[in-house]
Amino acid sequence: MANNIIDLRNISVTFDGEQILKNLNLQIEDKEFLTLLGPSGCGKTTTLRIIAGFLQPDSGDVIFDGKLINGVPAHKRQVNTIFQRYALFTHLNVFENIAFGLRIKKTPEKEIKATVTEMLNLVNLKGFETRNINTLSGGQQQRVAIARALAVRPRVLLLDEPLGALDLKLRKDMQNELKNIQQRLGITFIYVTHDQEEALSMSDKIVVMNNGVIQQIGTPIDIYNEPENAFVADFIGESNIVDGVMKEDFICEFSGATFNCLDKGFGKNEAVDVVVRPEDVDVVPFEQGMLRGTVTSVTFKGVHFEIIVDIGGFKWMIQSTDEQFVGDNIGLYIEPDAIHIMKKSEYSGLYGDFSSFSEEFDELSDVNAEQEEQDDE
């Protein structure tokens, strides 16, 4: 407990009668890289704004380093923010942007110079001191924003989708750099993204949110391998999510077949959601399959083929390095450790079916689209 730098307790926020954060509880450890992950509008930015002090929660407590800071204004918190849009001062050059916080603290000129130089080195912008903000590329502006926030030596850095506007290549580079900076400086990063890959590769801990409610908190591996409910399973990576029944400990039944699995502790014959990752399914000859079905679509993805298989009307996604062909009848083999059992939740039945990948669905949606167009007229 003593290790927690930030502790959010029962935070609720309502905008225009709509509850945006619902009883949020979150402990953030000192020096960790924590990611808030969730779809657009789920309340990630709102959570950051509460920590930064730009927003007062309607109820609940914000605790920083063991002290209640609900009423402390933003400029007095040891927390700094990298904004979703960089929010640089366009009337100042790169040097003065980074020096901004130091000048307010009336830091001696010599020290300002040293810190700005250090920060520019840290973010790989040596020699950019006198450059005008408007002449910088997006990636460079982002680096200035990072240097500006780090120059005042915050204990916690809040990053709101800092790489959202960058192209894929630059994004990967910046991901590594940010992770590096965080480890080198040994400060806490609270990182917001809706990119699950980014979250998985950078974080010590991931907080999956939806509709203002935390769905799961865990390490990237936990979140990926042991999703708490169908929402998390679907949001992180690709998942086949099917209805199943726990016959007894270590035995489950789904898609008309019985499987060994590693899960226990469910009631006898309890209805559950079963998650199987596409890469954990092996393609075997039809006769040898634990499950059997017909290939309805094959897409080449570079590393593997993405194959959609119709099994008793439910579309499964399988990733395999061997090419299959539409219309083939194939068998599927699933290892016990590839099966993950989850309790039923409000999200059961909403996700995990890949019908949208098949041709029939395309036709269906085309019809719908036409109809909508007509309705619009």
Partner 1 sequence: MNKLSSRTRQALTAPFSVWMAIFVLVPIGLVVYYALTDATGGFTLSNLASIWEYRSTYLVSIELALVATVICLIMAYPLAYSISRMKAHSQSTMVLLVMLPMWMNFLIRTYAWMTILEDTGLINTFIKSVLSLVGYEFEGFSMINTNGAIVLGMVYNFLPYMILPIYTVLTKIDHSIIEAARDLGANGFHIFTKVLLPQSIPGIISGITMVFVPAVSTFVISKLLGGGMTYLIGDVIENYFLGNTGEVNYNVGAALSLVLMILILISSGIMNHFDKDVEPDGGAKK
Ligand X SMILES: Nc1ncnc2c1ncn2[C@@H]1O[C@H](COP(=O)(O)OP(=O)(O)OP(=O)(O)O)[C@@H](O)[C@H]1O
Binding site for partner 1 (CB under 8 A): 52, 54, 73-76, 79-81, 83-85, 87-93, 100-101, 103-105, 132-135, 148-149, 152
**What single letter denotes the amino acid at residue 359?**
E
Among 194, 277, 292, 340, binds ligand X (CB under 6 A): 194
Residue with Cβ nearer partner 1 (100 or 357): 100
Q: CB of 61: closest distance to partner 1 in angstroms? A: 21
**Of ligand X, partner 1, Mg ion, none, which one sits near residue 261, judging by CB under 5 to 8 A according to partner kind?**
none
Beta bridge partners of 26: 8
Query: If binding means CB under 5 A, how many residues of this protein chain bind Mg ion?
Result: 1
Compute the residue count for the chain: 377
Q: CB of 46: closest distance to ligand X in angstroms? A: 3
Q: Is there binding between residue 130 and ligand X (CB under 6 A)?
A: no
* CA–CA distance, 83 with 162 (Å, rounded to integer): 7
Using an 8 Å Cβ cutoff, are 323 and 298 in contact?
yes
* CA–CA distance, 82 with 143 (Å, rounded to integer): 10
Q: Is there binding between residue 171 and ligand X (CB under 6 A)?
A: no
Q: CB of 158: closest distance to ligand X in angstroms? A: 12
Residue with Cβ nearer partner 1 (54 or 357): 54
Q: CB of 115: closest distance to partner 1 in angstroms? A: 13
Using an 8 Å Cβ cutoff, are 320 and 305 in contact?
yes
**Of Mg ion, partner 1, ligand X, none, which one sits near residue 40, judging by CB under 5 to 8 A according to partner kind?**
ligand X
Q: CB of 351: closest distance to Mg ion in angstroms? A: 23
Q: Is there binding between residue 45 and Mg ion (CB under 5 A)?
A: yes
Phi, psi of 128 (to 5 degrees): -95, 5
**Of Mg ion, partner 1, ligand X, none, which one sits near residue 15, judging by CB under 5 to 8 A according to partner kind?**
ligand X
Residue with Cβ nearer ligand X (13 or 112): 13
Nearest residue to ligand X, using CB?
A: 45
Among 37, 44, 81, 289, binds ligand X (CB under 6 A): 44
Using an 8 Å Cβ cutoff, are 98 and 144 in contact?
yes
Among 15, 89, 250, 286, binds ligand X (CB under 6 A): 15
Q: Which of 233, 214, 232 is nearest to 46 (CA)?
A: 214
Q: CB of 13: closest distance to partner 1 in angstroms? A: 17
Q: Is there binding between residue 35 and Mg ion (CB under 5 A)?
A: no
SS3 37: strand
Residue with Cβ nearer Mg ion (45 or 81): 45
DSSP letter for each residue of 135-163: GS-HHHHHHHHHHHHHHT--SEEEEESTT
Beta bridge partners of 63: 7, 68
**Of partner 1, ligand X, Mg ion, none, which one sits near residue 42, judging by CB under 5 to 8 A according to partner kind?**
ligand X
Q: Is there binding between residue 40 and ligand X (CB under 6 A)?
A: yes
Q: Is there binding between residue 42 and ligand X (CB under 6 A)?
A: yes
Q: Which residue bears the tokens 């974080």? A: 203
**Of ligand X, Mg ion, partner 1, none, which one sits near residue 153, judging by CB under 5 to 8 A according to partner kind?**
none
Residue with Cβ nearer Mg ion (191 or 266): 191
Q: Which of 2, 3, 28, 7 is nearest to 188 (CA)?
A: 28
Q: CB of 12: closest distance to ligand X in angstroms? A: 13
Return the range that interacts with ligand X (CB under 6 A); candidates 12-20, 255-263, 269-277, 346-354: 12-20
Using an 8 Å Cβ cutoff, are 121 and 45 in contact?
no
Pairing of strands 240-248, 270-276: antiparallel
Using an 8 Å Cβ cutoff, are 156 and 190 in contact?
yes
What's the order of all strands across the beta sheet hosting 18-29? 18-29, 4-15, 59-64, 67-68
- Residues 6+ positions from 310 with CB-CB distance below 8 Å: 293, 294, 295, 296, 316, 358
* CA–CA distance, 193 with 37 (Å, rounded to integer): 5
Give the footprint of Mg ion on this chain (CB under 5 A): 45
Give the footprint of ligand X on this chain (CB under 6 A): 15-16, 20, 38, 40-46, 194
